[in-house]
């Protein structure tokens, strides 16, 4: 019984973790931005991330701006969750 209670508590805790807590981060410089994507330059090269109405701080993605991007990969594409200045 004790094991079931602990297992249930761990599963509940994992379900309550917000999606952004599982996101990766990258430091980048904005190359260009459109309504649906932002292109950035990182140490690894240029990357394109999808943005949308749920992307927090999308207004920070101005050409030439140095930003910190919280993102996740879904369906083989990078999706920006939050863009903040650095």
Q: Is 57 helix (H, G, I), strand (E, B) or coil?
A: coil
pLDDT for 13 equals 72
Q: Cβ(55)–Cβ(80) under 8 Å?
A: yes
CATH number at residue 73: 2.40.50.140
Q: How many domains does the chain have?
A: 1
CB of 51 within 8 A of CB of 39? no
> What is residue 7's predicted lDDT score, i.e. its pLDDT?
86
- Identify the domain containing residue 26 by its residue range: 19-85
Instruction: Name the β-bridge partners of 83.
Output: 69
Note the pLDDT of residue 21: 57
Q: What's the pTM value of the predicted model, to 2 decimals? A: 0.74
Low-confidence ranges of the chain (pLDDT < 70): 14, 16-22
| Cα separation, 83 vs 16, whole angstroms | 23
Per-residue confidence (pLDDT) for residue 18, from 0 to 100 = 61
Contact 36, 64 (CB under 8 A): no
């Amino acid at each position: 019984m004790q094991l079931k209670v602990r297992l249930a508590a761990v599963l509940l805790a994992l379900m309550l973790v917000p999606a952004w807590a599982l996101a990766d981060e990258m430091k980048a410089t904005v190359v260009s931005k459109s309504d649906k994507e932002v292109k950035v330059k990182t140490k690894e090269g240029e990357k394109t991330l999808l943005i949308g109405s749920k992307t927090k701080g999308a207004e920070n993605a101005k050409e030439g701006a140095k930003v910190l991007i919280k993102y996740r990969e879904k369906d083989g594409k990078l999706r920006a969750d939050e863009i903040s200045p650095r």
